[in-house]
Amino acid sequence: MSERDIPTNSLPFAPETRGQYNTADSVKGVNESSHGWGGWGGWRFLSQDARKDNGKQSVDSMTPSTFYTATPGYEVGFGTPGRINPGSAYGRVLQEHKLLEAKEIEINWSGRGQHVDFGINEIIPLETERTIGHSATALVESVRCRRIRLARKSIRCNRHAKPEDLVKEVAYLHKLRHPHIVQLVGTYLQKKTFAILLYPVASGNLQNYLDKLEISQSRDMLADLARFFFCLTHGLRYMHEQGIRHMDIKPSNILVHHREAMSFGGVRSILFTDFGISKTFTEEDGSQTAGPAALTKRWCSPEVAAQEPRGRAADVFSLGCVFATMYSVLVNAPLADFEGVREESGAGDAFHLAILQVHNWLDNLPSERTIINTWYSRRSMVELLKGMMARNPKGRPPASAVAHRLENDENAFEAWRRGKDMWRCCRESPESYRVAEEDEMNALAHE
């Protein structure tokens, strides 16, 4: 069946119903318009504030920003055939983490709800496009769900990776709605494969971006990199305010997303991802975790490397390491030289083993006027980075203080006075879902 043959009673994002799914539970009144391939304007969308009519929601009001939410007008319980059963093993895990939402507000990517337990012979309503990356435990792919491109993170369940543990990453993302954090779309379980669907599919990660920028020294890429200091700081501050620590901040876990636009060359945004080892905390528990934890040695804090109690300050240290790397690229200091300086400690290139060397490197970076110095005073930035990478966790500023320092830097204030609002994107909502063809057509228009 081609896209143009899709039944008119199905959602733009949801597949044709298959298997046990009850077609009576499909969304009524959301139809494909005659402009099927024309971008957002080619579809009608379910309004979040659609009015009630005789006890059933009307779909008179549609908006491009609405994300195809669940069925209106039907009071159907979770036990409906095809929908997740809260009494099943997977359903109980989702319920324990408060991830089962009412049908009227959940993200219904599948036509069967946000979280689905597929049978072994059921077809997953996703079209695989390409592999983005993989590790020993996970595979990340670009997939299409009808017209929306998503990232799918698939993990093979075993005694070391149980669904009840994997759902924790979903629970963290479920709590977070920020323009610089990836968005959770949904999950599914099929036999021993657990998959998380995320948006957007980024064009690359920060490590790729820095490697490319070292060679090209593209002025617009440098300007965006300078702006990313604000973006990442605001993202981490929000994360900590929501009671979540990331615990594995590094360039490969930070996405750089280049979104094309018809009216101008495009917009780059930066997003935290990979919350697989994140931890939730409350003010009562002091934001401390003890015992062994997964870590990335190069970027982790001294207390994490020593498997000592660690808290929000460990995230600040790791972000400081990332910022020191970004700052080096901005002033055109070779990262190979920076790595060599850290290796002088004789114990590899880990930041926590070469804190003194890193501080000396920052002090001796070029001081001539650059893009970074246009937005931040050099002395203030170097002192801030050294503070973020203090050996003692108590000596590091919290993310909120880092944000305050950046926003109130004398150069940043002067830039703001001249109309350069570097943190405007941090105050916006997360990116709206876009049909894949829109980005592709816009990219062609700028070739």
Q: How confident is the model at residue 420 (pLDDT cuts 50, 70, 90)?
A: low
pLDDT at 415: 55
> How many Cβ atoms are within 10 Å of 367's Cβ, its own excluded?
11
Annotation: CATH topology of 89-200: Phosphorylase Kinase; domain 1 (3.30.200)
Query: Bigger pLDDT: 384 or 95?
Result: 384
pLDDT in tens, 357-388: 999 999 999 876 566 666 677 888 999 999 99
Averaged pLDDT for residues 157-162: 83
Residue 109 corresponds to which amino acid? W
Averaged pLDDT for residues 201-213: 93
pLDDT at 98: 74
33 has pLDDT over 60: no
Whole-Å CA distances, 380 to 314, 411, 416, 419: 22, 10, 17, 22
The SS3 call for residue 189 is strand
Q: How confident is the model at residue 195 (pLDDT cuts 50, 70, 90)?
A: very high
301 has pLDDT over 80: yes
pLDDT at 164: 78
Please give the mean pLDDT across all residues of the chain. Answer: 74
Which residues neighbour 2 within 8 Å (Cβ) at sequence distance 6 or greater? none
DSSP E strand boundaries for 237-385? 244-245, 254-259, 267-272, 279-280
35-49, 168-182, 205-219, 429-443: which is most confident: 205-219
pLDDT at 327: 93
| Six token digits for residue 431 | 């990116």
2-6, 158-162, 270-274, 342-346: which is most confident: 270-274
Averaged pLDDT for residues 314-330: 96
pLDDT at 234: 94
Distance CA(61)–CA(42), nearest Å, equals 15
| Six token digits for residue 147 | 């017209």
Q: Return the bridge partners of 310, or none.
A: 289
Query: Which CATH architecture does the domain made up of 204-277+296-427 adopt?
Result: Orthogonal Bundle (1.10)
Whole-Å CA distances, 301 to 179, 232, 272, 311, 313: 26, 18, 18, 10, 9
Say which DSSP state 25 is in: G
Which residues neighbour 437 within 8 Å (Cβ) at sequence distance 6 or greater? 37, 39, 147
Give domain limits for the chain: 89-200, 204-277+296-427
Q: How confident is the model at residue 320 (pLDDT cuts 50, 70, 90)?
A: very high
Cis check: omega of the bond before 163, within 30 degrees of 0? no
81 has pLDDT over 50: no
Whole-Å CA distances, 155 to 145, 164, 202, 242, 352: 19, 13, 20, 26, 31
Q: How confident is the model at residue 294 (pLDDT cuts 50, 70, 90)?
A: low
The proportion of the chain whose per-residue pLDDT surpasses 70, expressed as a percent, equals 66
